[in-house]
Amino acid sequence: MTTNKNVLISGAGIAGLTLAYWLDHHGFRPTVIERAPHVRHGGYAVDFRGEALDVLDRMDLLEPVRALDAAMGDAAMVDAEGRQYAVLPAAVFAGDLEVPKAKLTQLLYAAARERSEYLFGDSISAVEQDSCGVDVTFENGPPRRFDLLVGADGLHSRTRGLVFGPEERFVRSLGIHTAIFSLPNYLGLHRTGQLYVSPGKAANMFADDAGGRARAALHFAAEGLEYDRYDITEQQHIVAERFTGEGWEVPRLLAEMRAAEDFWFDANAQVVMDTWTSGRVVLLGDAGYCAAPTSGRGTSQALIGAYVLAGELAQARGNHTAAFAAYENVMRPFVTEHQAVGREGAERFFMPAPTQEVLDVLAATAPERTRTEAVRLPDYAVR
């Protein structure tokens, strides 16, 4: 008989929604708590590869996701006057499939909506576990007891902070901060983009999926930057200060940034932990092993991690000790490799603007450089 069926998942992102789907599939009863009032609408495009596509296929989502594919072609490297001096081949920066994160989240939510209880607009605020269960206190709702708790609440995971320790112990900045926002596609880009690089900074604008929109990103090198994570005005001020005096379209991008409704700003960081489990609590996706945007692997890790965690719980008939250990075994080598890719990607940021020769070499070697060892994607029988 399967035990530990009542599972609380903190976070309705890629990882949390995928886990809700697979837990229900295996006969568990998931509850998902999400701090936002609904699943998140905002976000950049994410690309993913390999076994992540198999997970989507097993959820009957591969075709709908393929239909959203907005993969970019080659992009232009431009100087301060906007003159193209090199072409960045798509092979250097694109994965097997690229889709807007918001649309992927909506597809996952549609697939998982009927399979789980949802508590939107709330967050866990305290956790206490004993040998039989986990008592959870919420910011808004009444306290409840669950059999297991999964922290799928992203890079700044509340679950990790409450159960494993403060963020400083596990989150390692890669020394780059990034702002992303959408804006009118006033350059008339179509499945392409423009990139401008100056020492310690990079700015780009790429076509978005539809509707005459584009998205811009402003990256800059910074260590130990201190700011309020919830104060967008302060963050925009920091970005504007860093990019003052830069060429290309940067002045216009800074103006658009202030008007954007979906401004996002954060450090490029990794989460490095010796273990992702503590008793009846387990971390999933960015919360436990963020590989940083420079890896291009975070979405894949979230999808595969969720599939494996649910499958191992089913295989162990709810024995969380055995299941969590097996989940770590399957995921650990894969995560280690992806985090190395993420660090290499960040190192390239600190090199001088690439010449066409360098870009051509990067494109020619991309399959070897970006290919990582395949994760074993087991078949978990439904019990």
Interface residues with ligand FAD (CB under 6 A)? 10-16, 33-36, 40, 44, 46-48, 101, 123, 152-154, 158, 178, 180, 285-287, 293, 296-300, 302
Distance of closest approach, residue 289 Cβ to ligand FAD, in angstroms:
9
DSSP H helices, 172-284, are 232-243, 250-259
Place of tokens 């991690």: 305
- What lies within 8 Å, CB to CB, of 143 at 6+ separation is 135, 136, 137
**How far is CA 327 from each of CA 12, 69, 221, 283, 375, rounded to the nearest angstrom?**
20, 30, 35, 11, 12
Which one, 23 or 318, has the nearer CB to ligand FAD?
23
Q: Which is nearer to ligand FAD, 347 or 383 (CB)?
A: 347
- Strands of the sheet containing 201-207, edge to edge, are 84-88, 75-78, 193-198, 201-207, 213-221, 171-184, 264-271
Q: Which C-beta is closer to ligand FAD: that of 141 or that of 247?
A: 141
Q: From the centroid of its chain, how far is CA 211? A: 24
Question: Among residues 77 and 104, whose Cβ is nearest to ligand FAD?
Answer: 104
d(CA 297, CA 54) in angstroms, rounded, equals 15
Of residues 35 and 318, the one with the C-beta less far from ligand FAD = 35
Smallest separation (angstroms) from ligand FAD to the CB of 373:
17
Q: 222: burial class by Cβ within 10 Å (0-12, 13-18, 19+)?
A: middle
Which residue's CB is nearer to ligand FAD, number 12 or number 76? 12
- Toward ligand FAD, which CB reaches closer, 11 or 311? 11
Q: How far is the CB of 150 from ligand FAD (least distance, A)?
A: 11
- Nearest-CA neighbor of 56 among 381, 329, 246, 307? 307
Q: Looking at beta carbons only, is 36 or 358 nearer to ligand FAD?
A: 36
Beta-carbon contacts of residue 231 (< 8 Å; ≥ 6 apart)? none
CB of 381 to ligand FAD, least distance (A): 26
In angstroms, give the least distance from the CB of 72 to ligand FAD. Answer: 11
Shortest reach from residue 297's CB to ligand FAD, in Å: 5
**What is the smallest separation between the CB atom of 20 and ligand FAD, expressed in angstroms?**
11
Nearest CA to 154 out of 280, 290, 37 is that of 290
Question: Which 3 state secondary structure label does DSSP give 341?
Answer: helix
Q: What is the nearest approach in angstroms of ligand FAD to the Cβ of residue 131?
A: 26
| Whether 84 contacts 76, CB under 8 Å | yes
Cβ distance 13 to 162 under 8 Å? no
